[in-house]
Amino acid sequence: MENTTPGFFEEFNDRLLSVIGKDVRLHEVKEPIGFDNPLFYFFLGISTGTFSILFLKFMLTHPNFIRTFQISMSCFVVVTGIYWLFCKPITGRYGQNKKIQDLAMGTVFIITGIALLVFA
């Protein structure tokens, strides 16, 4: 027996469709993965935990790999900070009044990457 009472999303969808103009074109997208399924998070946690444990075991058995990993991660963080300063992903999504957040995030990434490189 199906539940015919509309849920929160259906009510929100109906209200939104009644407010927007008829000239607005809608495009519905079906998620390729069921993120609402509880088994998704179970298998995500199992796979993430397994790979993390294997990675840590590999790092502990190869001490030279730890230094290389630290240097590569610090370079990655610096490059991410530079990307953040030039591309401004928050400003592009939320408007020009959010420039300070992009500058702050880029600067924090660069300082953190340099600190990781110095203290590695």
The per-residue pLDDT for range 66-114, each reduced to its tens digit, is: 788 888 889 999 999 999 899 888 777 777 777 888 889 899 999 999 9
Q: Is 41 part of a structural domain of the chain?
A: yes
Q: Which residue range is the domain that position 81 belongs to?
A: 36-119
Please say if the pLDDT value at position 4 is more than 70: no
Number of structural domains in the chain = 1
Rounded distance between C-alpha atoms, residue 111 and residue 120, angstroms: 14
Confidence at residue 1, expressed as pLDDT on a 0 to 100 scale: 42
Q: Which residue has the tokens 């009044």?
A: 97
Q: Are 81 and 113 in contact (CB under 8 A)?
A: yes
Q: Is 21 part of a structural domain of the chain?
A: no
Q: Is 12 part of a structural domain of the chain?
A: no
Q: Is 106 part of a structural domain of the chain?
A: yes
Please say if the pLDDT value at position 10 is more than 60: yes
Q: Is 3 part of a structural domain of the chain?
A: no
